[in-house]
Structure 1
Amino acid sequence: MKKYLLLFLILTSVSYAQTKKEILVGTWQGIDANGVKNKMIFTSDNFISMTINNEFIDGKNYIIKGGKNDGKIGLLKYQIDESKIPVTLDVIAVAVEKGKEVEKGRILAILDFKSNDEIKINLSLNGVRATEFNESNEAYTILLKRS
């Protein structure tokens, strides 16, 4: 009887385990090293909306302002790799050209899940992903809380 109870407990705990991506889905807020309030919204269909340079970008429907893509529709998507330590996240900028999605660039990030309601994220804008959280990349690290 004890074996069946133990097996039942193991199976039910496994079925309730969430992936990091499932935990990530939702609205997160935090303040960066410059005191700027940041917001990130991760959706289950891999879109991300976020604050960049004090401007909130709607990841599903952003009208690009300025440059050669002025007036075009832009998208922000994300990919997460839970198999890596720390967990990696790519924020992918996409332009819609002639009805097709064309990748225009990536912001490379690492994540540390402190809890289901608190994550630390380091965003690299120079194309080189950080491999750990440390003092040298502290200016690009934000503690986000689920809101």
Structure 2
Amino acid sequence: MKKILVLFLFLTGISYSQTKKDILIGNWQATDKSGVKNKMVFSNDGFVSMSINGEFIDGKNFVVKGGKNDGQKGTLKYEIDESTIPIKMDIIASSLEKGKAVEKGRLLAIVDFINNDEIKINLSLNQTRATEFNETNEDSTVLLQRDK
């Protein structure tokens, strides 16, 4: 009887284990070092939406405003690599050309899952992914808190 109970508990635990991507999915309040608040939304189909300086960018369908790509439609997707410590994340900007997504660039990030409702992300703006969270990169680190 004990063996059956142990097996049941083991199988139940496996079926309810969450991946980091599962935890990431949802709506988040992002706060940077200076206290500026923005929003990030991670969807289960790999898209990320966010507000930057009060403007909301829909990751599934946004239109570039200004610059050489003015008016061009695009997408923002995310990928995470849970096999690394810290966890790696890429935010991938693509343009929609003839109905297909064409990658235009990536933001390289590292992620620390503090708990299921708080995440720390360091986003690189210079195409060099940080290898750890520290004082030298705290300006590019944001704290995400789950919207409830």
How does the TM-score come out when normalised to structure 2? 0.94
| Distance in 2 of aligned mates of 1:49 and 1:126 | 21
Secondary structure of 2:13's counterpart equals helix
Structure 1 ranges of 4+ moved more than 4 A: none
Question: Which residue in the other structure is 2:123 paired with?
Answer: 123
Matches within 5 A, 1:23-38: 23-38=23-38
Deviations 1:8-46 (A, max 9, x none): 111101110011101100001032112211211000010
More off after superposition, 27-36 vs 83-92: 27-36
- Distance change in 2, residues 1:68/1:48 (3 Å): same
Contact 1:39 1:50 in 2 (8 A): yes
Query: Unaligned stretches of 5+ in structure 1?
Result: none
Question: Which residue in the other structure is 2:100 paired with?
Answer: 100
How does the TM-score come out when normalised to structure 1? 0.95
More off after superposition, 79-88 vs 30-39: 30-39
Query: Unaligned stretches of 5+ in structure 2?
Result: none
RMSD: 1.1
Identical positions, percent: 67
More off after superposition, 10-19 vs 97-106: 97-106
Query: May I ask how many residue pairs the two structures share in their alignment?
Result: 147
The reply on whether 1:65 has 2:65 as its aligned counterpart is yes
Question: Which residue in the other structure is 2:132 paired with?
Answer: 132
